């Protein structure tokens, strides 16, 4: 119990004195995960929607694979990205290993299937509702995807937030490809792992509380911006 109490105190102390290191790694956490979220959403939202309206031969198989990929182990993703980006790997010349860009790449791979899968589920319901009307109006495939994404935007936000939650709390992959380098690739989760390893539980817990608060703040901010709770139910 003492450690937890000390952790809470440490969290308040760090926030209160606006600890420079804390601000730096918090901002880097946000930068990496939000960038990954934007890229993954740009890929997964149209793909999930397309999957919901398109009938093709290996559709069931694709959906099964997508659902399986939701549980992709971050450590393995990290390892594969590491090998691809390392000096001897195919993309070694780009010098991306141990940079925030490498961390973003790993997180995009981890959260894209998650967002796409949730999108597919939500869009399938909306599509069964809209199907007859959109067919009757003689819409093009593109117009259908746009209509579904626009009218399903609230459910899609849930999908995106689930992706963000997975990204910001993820440690395995970014530890491997980022390397947890101070002032370069250290983020909240890798810092927590490091401090725990060093036995500084108060600092580790303090960072943990900051991470939880950050997740809450981002969720609430996105909800407030998109006014989910104010326009009533659709």
Partner 1 sequence: MVRLAISVCLDSVVVKRRGKTVLGPVDLCLQADGFTIVLGPNGAGKTTLLKVLHGVERVSRGSVQWSIPNAQVREAQAYVFQSPIMLRRSVRQNLAYPLQLIGIDKAEIASRVVDWAQKTGLQDALDFPAPRLSGGEKQKLALGRALIRMPKVLFLDEPCANLDGRSTREIEELLYDATKAGTRIIMTTHDLGQARRLADSVLFLMNGALHEHGAASNFFAAPSTSEAQAFLNGDIIE
Q: In whole angstroms, how far apart are CA 222 and each of 48, 158, 164, 188?
A: 21, 10, 11, 21
Q: How far is the CB of 139 from partner 1 (least distance, A)?
A: 6
- The Cα angle at residue 109 between residues 108 and 112, in degrees rounded to 5: 70
Query: Which residues from 142-181 bind partner 1, rule CB under 8 A?
Result: 143, 147, 151-152
Q: How far is the CB of 232 from partner 1 (least distance, A)?
A: 7
Q: Which is nearer to partner 1, 152 or 163 (CB)?
A: 152
Query: Which residues from 128-147 bind partner 1, rule CB under 8 A?
Result: 129-130, 132-133, 135-139, 143, 147
Q: What is the DSSP string of 88-152?
A: TSTTGGG--TTSHHHHHHHHHHHHHHHHHHHHHHHHHHHHHHHHHHHHHTT--HHHHHHHHHHHT
Distance CA 50, CA 169 (A): 29
Site string for partner 1, 101-130 (x = CB under 8 A): -------------------------x--xx
By CB under 8 A, the count of residues binding partner 1 is: 17
Q: Is 230 in the site for partner 1 (CB under 8 A)?
A: no
Q: How far is the CB of 81 from partner 1 (least distance, A)?
A: 39
Please say whether the beta carbons of 110 and 77 come within 8 A.
Answer: yes
- Binding region for partner 1 (CB under 8 A): 126, 129-130, 132-133, 135-139, 143, 147, 151-152, 231-232, 234
């Amino acid at each position: 119990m003492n450690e937890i109490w000390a952790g809470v105190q440490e969290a308040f102390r760090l926030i209160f004195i606006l600890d420079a290191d804390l601000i730096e790694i918090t901002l880097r956490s946000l930068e990496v995960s939000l960038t990954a979220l934007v890229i993954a959403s740009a890929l997964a939202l149209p793909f999930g929607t397309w999957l919901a309206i398109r009938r093709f031969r290996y559709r069931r198989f694709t959906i099964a694979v997508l659902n399986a990929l939701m549980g992709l182990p971050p450590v393995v993703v990290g390892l594969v990205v590491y090998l691809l980006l390392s000096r001897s790997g195919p993309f070694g010349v780009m010098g991306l290993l141990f940079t925030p860009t490498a961390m973003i790449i790993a997180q995009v791979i981890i959260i894209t299937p998650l967002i796409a899968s949730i999108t597919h589920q939500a869009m399938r319901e909306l599509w069964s509702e809209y199907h007859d009307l959109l067919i009757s109006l003689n819409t093009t495939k593109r117009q259908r995807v746009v209509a579904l994404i626009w009218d399903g935007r609230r459910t899609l936000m849930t999908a995106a937030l689930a992706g963000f939650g997975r990204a910001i709390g993820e440690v395995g992959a970014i530890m491997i490809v980022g390397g947890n380098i101070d002032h370069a690739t250290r983020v909240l989760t890798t810092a927590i792992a490091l401090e725990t390893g060093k036995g500084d539980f108060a600092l580790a817990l303090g960072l943990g509380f900051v991470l939880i608060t950050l997740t809450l703040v981002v969720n609430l901010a996105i909800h407030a911006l998109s006014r989910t709770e104010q326009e009533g139910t659709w």
